[in-house]
């Protein structure tokens, strides 16, 4: 059977993170959504996504295909339903389709001709950007159980203080010294070749992915994920960092999501609670206005390749697009369009040639090529988002 993940109806709700990747490649918990599906299915997947992303994230169709809505996070129960689908059957959760079975060349405009199969079990869904951090604790727990099943953790070093050590899993090659790991509120996963430096204090649920680093005296509250090759210091609470991003110094990050290749300057802080304790509104690309989140705590959403200078202050519920560069005193406005350069005193357009120079240097430092496909994606984002820039 061939499995294809598609973006589904919530793709625009998940901008700016889906400007540069399919929904399937969002990270929540320990793994990306694609990695979760592939682990449960024991099969590789491809993707149906926006045309401008297709060169980097291609789709492979075969004679028989099960199409899967990437907004749904898999679990043991739903996998059994997906694998047992027959031709012209569709699996639903309420009004949303989870998966459906088609043959090569068939096109689907609606599901009126499909036999509907209802899934009544519990399943996590990602419909808004804030779901990524607000549902991260549940996602870490499910991924932890998936990854560690029938496996044995590396020994916990003697210098590590632990609470509930049976809920801690350390992969091969990880380095930990003179830190405190409290797994009483949720599991703690320490990925391969990662490092927890001296003086760090961690409260689960927490995931430190492979080759990532917690710098000295970090204070980490659950439910937090530090993605691959990221570096984190200071205080972090209930946040998700996708990968290859740095918050390397003191400062607070709370109820937030950072994409890839982001960098927060020293002493960057974000507010995650309004002074009047009111519900947080967040910029919505779908409606081009500020949408209710239903949350009292909501911080910073920052798209790929965006960066800020030292002492940057972000207001509650700030959305920063792709390849923005923010600096200076005061609070920048709480929606910063992609390819913006400036701060509280105003923004100008961050030209692509300059932005690409930085991306090439940053990625080269991690021995990753900034490819023509990457450039083409960012050029599309630049054009697609020019309506939001004022200069």
Q: What is the pLDDT of residue 386?
A: 96
Residues in Cβ contact with 379 at an 8 Å cutoff, skipping those fewer than 6 apart: 352
Mean pLDDT score of the chain: 97
Residue 147's pLDDT band (boundaries 50, 70, 90)? very high
Full-model pTM: 0.96
What is the separation of C-alpha 242 from the centre of its chain, rounded to a whole number of angstroms?
A: 5
DSSP string, 56-90: TS-----SEEEEEETTBPP-HHHHHHHHT--TTEE
Mean pLDDT of 14-38: 98
pLDDT at 304 over 90: yes
Residue 256's pLDDT band (boundaries 50, 70, 90)? very high
* Cβ(251)–Cβ(235) below 8 Å: yes
Q: pLDDT (tens digit, 9 = 90+) per residue, 175-208?
A: 999 999 999 999 999 999 999 999 999 999 999 9
Residue 379's pLDDT band (boundaries 50, 70, 90)? very high
pLDDT at 391 over 80: no
Q: How far is CA 305 from CA 248, 269, 281, 358, in A?
A: 16, 18, 24, 9
């Amino acid at each position: 059977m061939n499995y294809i993940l598609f973006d589904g109806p919530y793709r625009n709700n998940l901008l700016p993170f889906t400007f540069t990747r399919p929904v399937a490649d969002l990270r929540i918990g320990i793994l990306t959504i694609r990695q979760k599906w592939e682990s449960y299915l024991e099969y590789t997947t491809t993707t149906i996504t926006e045309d401008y992303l297709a060169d980097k994230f291609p789709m492979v169709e075969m004679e028989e295909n099960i199409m899967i809505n990437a907004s749904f996070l898999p679990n043991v129960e739903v996998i059994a339903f997906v694998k047992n689908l027959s031709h012209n059957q569709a699996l639903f959760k309420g009004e949303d389709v989870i998966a459906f079975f088609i043959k090569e060349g068939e096109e689907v405009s609606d599901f009126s001709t499909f036999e509907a199969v209802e899934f009544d079990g519990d399943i996590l869904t990602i419909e808004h950007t804030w779901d990524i951090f607000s549902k991260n604790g549940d996602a870490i727990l499910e991924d932890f159980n998936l990854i560690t099943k029938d496996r044995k953790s590396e020994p916990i070093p003697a210098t590590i203080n632990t609470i509930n050590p049976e809920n801690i899993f350390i992969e091969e090659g990880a380095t930990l010294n003179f830190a405190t790991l409290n797994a009483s509120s949720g599991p703690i996963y320490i990925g391969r070749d990662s490092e927890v430096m001296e003086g760090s204090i961690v409260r689960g649920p927490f995931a430190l992915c492979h080759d990532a680093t917690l710098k000295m005296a970090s204070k980490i509250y659950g439910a937090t994920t530090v993605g691959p090759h990221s570096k984190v210091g200071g205080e972090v609470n209930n946040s998700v960092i996708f990968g290859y991003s740095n918050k390397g110094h003191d400062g607070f990050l709370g109820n937030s999501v950072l994409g890839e290749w982001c960098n927060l300057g020293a002493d960057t802080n974000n507010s995650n609670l309004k002074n009047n304790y009111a519900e947080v509104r967040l910029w919505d690309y779908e409606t081009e206005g500020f949408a209710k989140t239903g949350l009292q705590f909501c911080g910073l959403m920052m798209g790929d390749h965006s960066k800020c200078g030292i002492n940057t202050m972000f207001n509650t519920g700030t959305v920063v697009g792709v390849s923005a560069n923010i600096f200076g005193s005061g609070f920048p406005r709480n929606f910063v369009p992609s390819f913006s350069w400036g701060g509280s005193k105003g923004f100008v357009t961050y030209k692509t040639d300059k932005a690409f120079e930085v991306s090439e240097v940053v990625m080269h430092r991690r021995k990753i090529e900034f490819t023509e496909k990457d450039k083409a994606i960012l050029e599309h984002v630049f054009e697609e988002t020019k309506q939001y820039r004022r200069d």
